[in-house]
Amino acid sequence: MDYKKYIAEKLSIEGISQDELYEMIALPPNLEMGDYALPCFKLAKLMRKSPVMIAETLRDTLMADESVINEKVLKEVSAVNGYLNFKINKTDFVKATLEKILSEKDSYGSSNEGEGKTVCIDYSSINIAKPFHIGHLSTTVLGGALYRIFNFLGYKAVGINHLGDYGTQFGKLISAYKRWGDKETIEKGGIRALNELYVKFHQEAEEHPEYDDEARAYFKKIEQGDSECLALFHWFKELTLKDVQKIYDMLDIRFDSYAGESFYSDKMQPIVDELKEKGLLVESRGAQVVDLEAYNMPPCIILKSDGSSLYATRDMAAAQYRKNTYDFDKCLYVVAYQQNLHFKQFFKVLELMGKDWAKDLVHVAYGMVSLEEGTMSTRKGNVVFLEDVINKCIEKAYKIIDDKNPNLENKEEVAQKVGVGAVIFGALYNNKIKDIVFSYDKVLNFDGETSVYVQYTCARANSVLQKGGIPESYEIPELTSQEIELVKAISTLPETVKAAGEKYEPSLIARFAVDVAQKFNKFYFDCKILSAEDEKTKNFRLALTNAAMQALKNAFALLGIGIPDKM
């Protein structure tokens, strides 16, 4: 049962919807106060009474409701200092929660709320022939988590890798390759070899500015369909995608479309034509722009003075294509907050064009990830490859596991799950908008709020179940506070997943996992499981252990993190 929903339905306050009441109902800080609470302070203005009087009136109304008395869902309703507190029938609550988890298993926490709706998610968006570096971590794992979350909520999620495969950098690469490159070296070195050429070009171009003119000429040849330049461009792209797929496989990232910037090169003109037809384009210093001064924004440049397009032009063409192709209900752009203005501008231009679906475009902004060593620059060559970060985490995880449990089977496989999980969790645990300084020691801490802590908790639970077995049936004994707290924690997964989708915030699921792991460990240390005082208590605690492990597995599956059986 959704107890918050039950309480909201029974309260029925004029002027407040059930959904609003549902959001207002909170979890008190300790069990003594109640299982749920409604703060009445926000209702004071509407009802023109003090919060204390409102709480007392609502309590009296509920206690006089025959359905509330007969259903025996609420054990006690009290009014304390402007709060309406509810104590539920805990035996029924525990029984219903465990039955739900143990019957639904891998689908526990899912819903069909998105049935018939489509969400496009634009994430990762790597640049062809450039390093897949630590800066791409957040967009990749945040987008990947949202993709899984929306599918879990019943939506049809469409994962889009909007490749950066358009622009003068390809002319620079062709110029560099023709001067200093050879096929064998590039084939062997992949992205890293291409990146070395890119860095060398920028170093040499400082002494030879004519190289930049040559690069622009080569890119123009790509646009004009020159066979040699196009062949090199497609080769660079093929090498890049082959290299990055290894990383996507490690992170369990999937896409339904790799349509990048070049895909929209023949789809921009209709957007430009429509802007002209609607009188939105004006000339500014030779460029064609949409004036957004009325909306406190600088002009959105559509065409440069030489007639070439910009990101905004291509993004508008992409948005129109996605609406035509997928008829999305939402289209999310998982891109760093530095691009806030860009998204505000082109969303506003689409709105001014009369696209009523412009309201369904959402910029899911996130903070930057850096290493403790400092900042990076692709042009200067001081980048940190994401593959190196993942491999270093796996190596460190292996060393820790080898020290703690040298006889563990499949150490390499366990280290892979622990190391990769640490990288993903390190990027997803905090609110997405926060900047992150990535620390190997922090993310691999067995005792902190980390994926390793959660994975170790699951391994502990699995060990208990292997020794005690999973009971075919169980009864609810007299409950301890540790058991109730653990059941309350695991019962919140469905609403946590729903909130993570609504707020585009996978960190809610990461924090759910840590909270459940902490409460399970308290239960594990305070309550005897295998040596419980009687068979009834033992079977119940084994069932609770199984339910907690299932909830943690489901949460981590949504984040893209695997859980080893042993650690």
User: pLDDT by residue (tens digit) across 73-84?
Assistant: 899 999 999 999
The partner residues of 79 in beta bridges, in order of sequence, read 84
Q: Where are the domains of the chain?
A: 3-88, 167-254
* Integer CA distances (angstroms), 59 to 45, 65, 74, 150, 209, in order: 19, 10, 12, 38, 79
The DSSP line for 484-538 is HHHHHHHHTHHHHHHHHHHHT-THHHHHHHHHHHHHHHHHHHHS-STT-SSHHHH
Question: Which tens digits make up the pLDDT trace of 188-206?
Answer: 988 889 988 988 998 999 9
Rounded CA gap, 1 and 99, in Å? 11
Residue 373 has a pLDDT of: 64
Q: Which of 103, 244, 252, 260 has its CA nearest to residue 167?
A: 260
DSSP structure class, residue 126: P
3-88: CATH architecture: 2-Layer Sandwich (3.30)
Beta strands in 318-449 (DSSP E): 330-336, 361-366, 369-371, 436-438
Q: What is the chain's pLDDT, residue by residue, as a tens digit (567 residues)?
A: 788 889 999 998 888 999 899 999 988 877 788 889 999 999 998 899 999 999 999 999 999 998 888 888 899 999 999 999 999 999 999 999 999 999 999 999 999 999 999 999 999 999 888 878 888 999 999 999 999 999 999 999 999 999 998 888 889 999 999 999 999 999 998 888 998 898 899 899 999 999 999 998 998 888 888 999 999 999 998 998 998 999 999 999 999 999 998 899 889 999 999 999 999 999 998 999 999 999 999 999 999 887 777 889 999 999 999 999 999 999 999 999 999 999 999 999 999 999 999 999 999 999 988 776 655 444 455 578 888 889 999 999 999 999 999 999 999 999 999 999 999 999 999 888 888 887 888 878 878 899 999 999 999 999 999 999 999 999 999 999 999 999 999 999 999 999 999 999 999 999 999 999 999 999 999 999 999 999 999 999 999 999 999 999 999 999 999 999 998
Residue 506 CB neighbours (<10 A): 28
Task: Report the interhelical angle of 386-404 vs 411-428 (nearest 10°).
Answer: 120
Q: Outline where 83-133 has alpha helix (H).
A: 90-104
Q: 8-40 b/e with 16+ CB inside 10 Å = b? A: bebbebeebeeeebbebbeeeeeeebbbbbbeb
